[in-house]
Structure 1
Amino acid sequence: MLSLVVCTLDEFEAIGGVLRELDQHLQGISHEIIVVDDSADNRTADVVNAYAAEHPQVQLVRRFMASGLSSAAIKGWDVAKGRYLAIMDGDGQHDPALIRMLLEKLSNPDVDVAVASRYLDSTHSGLQGLRHQLSRAGTWLTDVTLGVPLADPLSGCFAMTREWYTQVRRDLSGLGFKILIDVVASGARKPRTAQVPTLLRARAGGESKLDTRVVIDLIALLIEKRTHGRFTAYAFMSGMSMVSALIMQWLSLGALRALSLPLWLTLLLSTGFGLAGRFGITMLMTPRSRRPRNAPELHRQWVTFCLNRWTDVPLITCFALALCIAHCPWAIATLAGVLLAESRYYFGVNAGASA
């Protein structure tokens, strides 16, 4: 009847307790629990496997070099067998008792998606300080952008019918951590929703996933859904990367011109600064679990990045230099060079993927 996906990332301290609570609250309901684990080590997987050895309704799906709750949820739902599909966190913040309440809401044939919503009965969420303020800001931004009829469109605990999932599956982006937005904004029509009130509990293990990447993902996802896929999240992030490189190159070029260096050297050095700006924004858009933890890792990622984009240096420098010699303003010449390098990289990557 029910397939519940629990997504984990380094939550070995909490997942055992979550599974035990679910076992108590789902008694009498035919169900399976699919734990999708993105942890770098085996500690979370070991806890789940030990529990699954005595509880056959629990299964583990490991992902390697993958990140993001949304894509993990889709991975779990794609292998699920249940009539109803649900999701909750594996850190203990969601009360397992909510799942039965959500199923009761879905027993109404006029409901497609049932959500455990903070802010339904009050403005409290169970979060503190900045995290609460960011949650409220994200809720407001989602409401004004998409008009989703939910008190808490950022909720990570909800359930839906298989029919609704089948309808929206093709258009799910799988980006970031706010899978509910993806689910309710990808259908040909708005879903019929029901809500139950909730507050987040104290986290029993793991740590908050909130960082710059989560915020960027949310904005990119909202843009993609608001434009009905005409402007994708990938295009938004690629644009951010290109603009950061261009701004850094313009700023450095303006400063270097004051040193009376040869034009070719000025353009060459500013291109290097542009690559540094692109690398910086890339780090901000990289999930925390895959960011460098120390100087050697940072150096290794910088070298890999430079090897991947090294052709930008001669391409931008030479093209911009040629335009400047032809009396084109240096700002426009640099912009043209960056656009040319971005086009070469984009088509080169796509050609390699096709091959």
Structure 2
Amino acid sequence: MPELTVVVPTFNEADNLSALVGELTQALDGLDWEVLFVDDDSPDGTADRARALAQHNPRVRCLQRLGRRGLASACIEGMLASSAPCLAVMDGDLQHDPALLRPMLETLRGGETDIVVGSRHLDGGGVGDFSAYRQWVSRVGDRLSRAVLKARLTDPMSGFFMLTRPALMACLRNGVSAIGYKLLVDLFASAPRPLRAAELPYTFRSRVAGHSKLDSKVVLDYLALLTEKLVGRFVPVRFLAFSAVGGLGVGVHLAVLWAVFRGLGLAFVPAQLLATLTAMTFNYVLNNSLTYRDRRLRGWRFLGGWLSFTLACSVGAVANVGIAAYLYQRETFWIASALSGVLVGAVWNYAVTSVYTWRR
């Protein structure tokens, strides 16, 4: 049984694997270790490259995931697929220095620490050739994380860390969200008790091959993670996102109605039907791209999803009006009646479409 498993989530990292295995072999010489590449079905053949390496190196393993995406969830699946008592997470793009793994492991062996974090912000560390924009994003992310962290870290956005299996299992059983890319924040925020943490400095290296995965969707995932940790025990984050999209849909509905009814002179009823259908389509496309991006529908499934979504929302609209009318007839204040109808319709739309439109 290896003492250490290095979990490396990958997507289109085929050109980096050989070099990374070579650096790990040199850095961890004399230790019992393995590296587990968890690949989200990369189109560049990363999984095939990892399996080819494993044919000649028993320390290399590959876990290929089909139909699933996400760095945090890939790391968790990789760690659960290991039997090692110590678990490290690092990127596959050669920007994390494997030489730090040995001092991380030595720190964990002392028994006084649950997790060791590679920090770019301690003395002796650095962010390398980060652009000014990426440095700004990292600073903002650091500040936002303080709302949910149960520890003081200099680099909570780090993707390079090592922890013990008992610490991992405690966090998982206490509700790790596995949303997006920042698993470290998720672990600290989910720990049933504050994790005993240590930080070691390292300098972020330049990318050798591949492309950065930092984009607007990564930022949205991070905001969703923070929201989940703040209010997720009370209201599902997906429901909040679904409701926000619905609010935008109301604006689209009114804009289309004004354009075709007042601008083009179309009769009110057909104008209202056209505006309703347009708003439903807008909501469906946005929810498919953002709210349910991990279950995104494509091809013919996209069309089928649109049909089920519009049907469910049509029933929700009837329920909305019916509940509001019933309460108003019972002499409930008209605003309260309207909001009650909206809430019932929103809950219905969310519940039904999550089961039938974007079912797992």
Whether these two folds match at TM > 0.5 is yes
Q: 2:223 aligns with which of 202, 219, 222?
A: 219
Shift of 1:284: 4.3
Cα separation, partners in 2 of 1:8 and 1:85, compared to 1, 3 Å: same
Cα separation, partners in 2 of 1:249 and 1:37, compared to 1, 3 Å: same
Could you tell me which residue of structure 2 aligns to residue 269 of structure 1? 274
Could you tell me which residue of structure 2 aligns to residue 176 of structure 1? 180
Cα separation, partners in 2 of 1:258 and 1:172, compared to 1, 3 Å: same
Residues 98-137 of structure 1 correspond to what in structure 2 (within 5 A)? 98-121=100-123, 124-126=126-128, 127-137=130-140
Shift of 1:248: 2.5
* Identity, % of aligned positions: 30
Shift of 1:176: 0.7
Q: Residue 209 in 1 paired to residue 238 in 2?
A: no
Could you tell me which residue of structure 2 aligns to residue 191 of structure 1? 195
Shift of 1:187: 1.2
User: Which stretch shifts more, 211-220 or 156-165?
Assistant: 211-220
Asked if structure 1 preserves the Cα contact closer than 8 Å seen for 2:93 and 2:210, the reply is yes
Shift of 1:200: 1.5
| Secondary structure of the structure 1 residue equivalent to 2:210 | coil
Asked if structure 2 preserves the Cα contact closer than 8 Å seen for 1:168 and 1:187, the reply is yes
**Separation in 2, partners of 1:348, 1:203:** 41
Could you tell me which residue of structure 2 aligns to residue 283 of structure 1? 289
Shift of 1:198: 1.8
| Secondary structure of the structure 1 residue equivalent to 2:277 | helix
Shift of 1:228: 6.4
Q: Deviations over 1:7-37 (max 9, x none)?
A: 0001111122111111111111111211100
| Secondary structure of the structure 1 residue equivalent to 2:146 | helix
**Separation in 1, partners of 2:171, 2:15:** 34
Q: 1:242 aligns with which of 238, 246, 250?
A: 246
**Separation in 2, partners of 1:94, 1:87:** 10
Q: Deviations over 1:106-131 (max 9, x none)?
A: 12322111000122238952321322
Q: Deviations over 1:175-200 (max 9, x none)?
A: 11111111111111111110011222
| Secondary structure of the structure 2 residue equivalent to 1:89 | coil
User: Which stretch shifts more, 30-39 or 343-352?
Assistant: 343-352
Residues 252-263 of structure 1 correspond to what in structure 2 (within 5 A)? 252-259=256-263, 260-263=265-268
**Separation in 1, partners of 2:193, 2:179:** 21
Q: Residue 3 in 1 paired to residue 5 in 2?
A: yes
5+ long unaligned stretches in structure 1: none
Shift of 1:202: 1.2
**Separation in 2, partners of 1:348, 1:287:** 14
Cα separation, partners in 2 of 1:265 and 1:149, compared to 1, 3 Å: same
Asked if structure 2 preserves the Cα contact closer than 8 Å seen for 1:116 and 1:197, the reply is yes
User: Which stretch shifts more, 13-22 or 39-48?
Assistant: 39-48
User: Which stretch shifts more, 250-259 or 42-51?
Assistant: 250-259
| Secondary structure of the structure 2 residue equivalent to 1:13 | helix
**Separation in 2, partners of 1:37, 1:102:** 24
Cα separation, partners in 2 of 1:338 and 1:276, compared to 1, 3 Å: farther
Could you tell me which residue of structure 2 aligns to residue 52 of structure 1? 54
Asked if structure 1 preserves the Cα contact closer than 8 Å seen for 2:119 and 2:125, the reply is no
Could you tell me which residue of structure 2 aligns to residue 17 of structure 1? 19
User: Which stretch shifts more, 8-17 or 33-42?
Assistant: 33-42
Shift of 1:103: 1.1
Q: 1:153 aligns with which of 153, 156, 161?
A: 156
Cα separation, partners in 2 of 1:268 and 1:335, compared to 1, 3 Å: farther
| Secondary structure of the structure 1 residue equivalent to 2:112 | coil
| Secondary structure of the structure 1 residue equivalent to 2:116 | strand
Kindly report the root-mean-square deviation, in angstroms, between the aligned alpha carbons of the 2 structures.
Answer: 3.4
**Separation in 2, partners of 1:173, 1:183:** 9
Q: Residue 41 in 1 paired to residue 43 in 2?
A: yes
TM-score (norm. length: structure 2): 0.83
| Secondary structure of the structure 1 residue equivalent to 2:218 | helix
Could you tell me which residue of structure 2 aligns to residue 72 of structure 1? 74
Shift of 1:211: 2.0
Shift of 1:345: 4.8
**Separation in 2, partners of 1:345, 1:156:** 33
Q: Deviations over 1:238-269 (max 9, x none)?
A: 33333333332244344444245433323322
Asked if structure 1 preserves the Cα contact closer than 8 Å seen for 2:312 and 2:352, the reply is no
**Separation in 2, partners of 1:341, 1:228:** 18
**Separation in 1, partners of 2:161, 2:43:** 28
User: Which stretch shifts more, 241-250 or 343-352?
Assistant: 343-352
* Letter of the 2:170 counterpart: Q
Could you tell me which residue of structure 2 aligns to residue 311 of structure 1? 311
Q: Residue 162 in 1 paired to residue 168 in 2?
A: no
5+ long unaligned stretches in structure 2: none
Shift of 1:155: 0.8
Cα separation, partners in 2 of 1:251 and 1:48, compared to 1, 3 Å: same
User: Which stretch shifts more, 197-206 or 312-321?
Assistant: 312-321
Asked if structure 2 preserves the Cα contact closer than 8 Å seen for 1:315 and 1:341, the reply is no
**Separation in 1, partners of 2:302, 2:232:** 35
Shift of 1:233: 3.2
Asked if structure 1 preserves the Cα contact closer than 8 Å seen for 2:150 and 2:188, the reply is no
**Separation in 2, partners of 1:140, 1:81:** 35
**Separation in 2, partners of 1:281, 1:349:** 11
User: Which stretch shifts more, 244-253 or 85-94?
Assistant: 244-253
Could you tell me which residue of structure 2 aligns to residue 90 of structure 1? 92
